[in-house]
């Protein structure tokens, strides 16, 4: 993995330092020799107790329409984590604006040649219709 630039002074000369651990996540820390500041690489999930994969999966399940308790049950069964309903709701509130902006950008600039999956297609010819 490429070393990040220092978020404080912008220097690209940073050194690996101690790892930062919380309840479930361990991240690599860095120290900038130019400004002397310590930092952890920015990945959009700073300060979160749960791994980013768990948060992203919870957000996906919420968008799919699952209730908070069903999301919690799913994460417990498949990932071994059991975040509270409040934690899941906080993630939804925090990342919903980011997801909304991403969705708008996707709608503004659709990719030509994108594959579309359809479950059923109804073709009408005159008064007859066939399902494929």
Has residue 110 been placed in a domain? no
**Number of domains, the chain:** 2
Query: What digits encode the pLDDT tens for the residues 51-67?
Result: 999 999 999 999 899 99
Q: Are residues 63 and 86 in the same domain?
A: yes
This prediction has a pTM of 0.66
Has residue 127 been placed in a domain? no
The CA distance from 44 to 16, in Å, is 20
Has residue 129 been placed in a domain? no
Cα separations (Å) of 70 from 44, 64, 75, 90, 116? Answer: 25, 11, 9, 16, 29
Query: What digits encode the pLDDT tens for the residues 4-36?
Result: 899 889 888 999 999 999 889 889 999 999 999
Write out the residue range of the structural domain in which residue 63 sits: 50-93
Has residue 100 been placed in a domain? no
Q: Are residues 3 and 38 in the same domain?
A: yes
The CA distance from 83 to 56, in Å, is 13
For the cut 70, the answer to whether the pLDDT of residue 132 exceeds it is: no
Strand partners, 128: 125
Amino acid 104: pLDDT: 81
Has residue 111 been placed in a domain? no
Q: Are residues 35 and 73 in the same domain?
A: no
Q: Are residues 39 and 65 in the same domain?
A: no
Q: 31: burial class by Cβ within 10 Å (0-12, 13-18, 19+)?
A: middle
């Amino acid at each position: 993995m490429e070393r990040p630039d220092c978020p404080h002074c912008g220097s690209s000369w940073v050194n690996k330092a101690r790892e930062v651990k919380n309840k479930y996540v361990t991240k690599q820390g860095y120290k900038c020799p130019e400004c002397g500041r310590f930092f952890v690489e920015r990945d959009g999930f700073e300060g979160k107790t749960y791994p980013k994969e768990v948060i992203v999966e919870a957000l996906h399940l919420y968008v799919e329409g699952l209730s908070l308790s069903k999301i919690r049950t799913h994460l417990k069964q498949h990932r071994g984590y059991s975040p509270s309903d409040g934690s899941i709701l906080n993630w939804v509130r925090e990342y919903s604006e980011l997801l909304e902006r991403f969705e708008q950008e996707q709608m503004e600039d659709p990719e030509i040649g994108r594959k579309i999956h359809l479950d059923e297609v109804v073709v009408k010819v005159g008064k007859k219709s066939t399902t494929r």
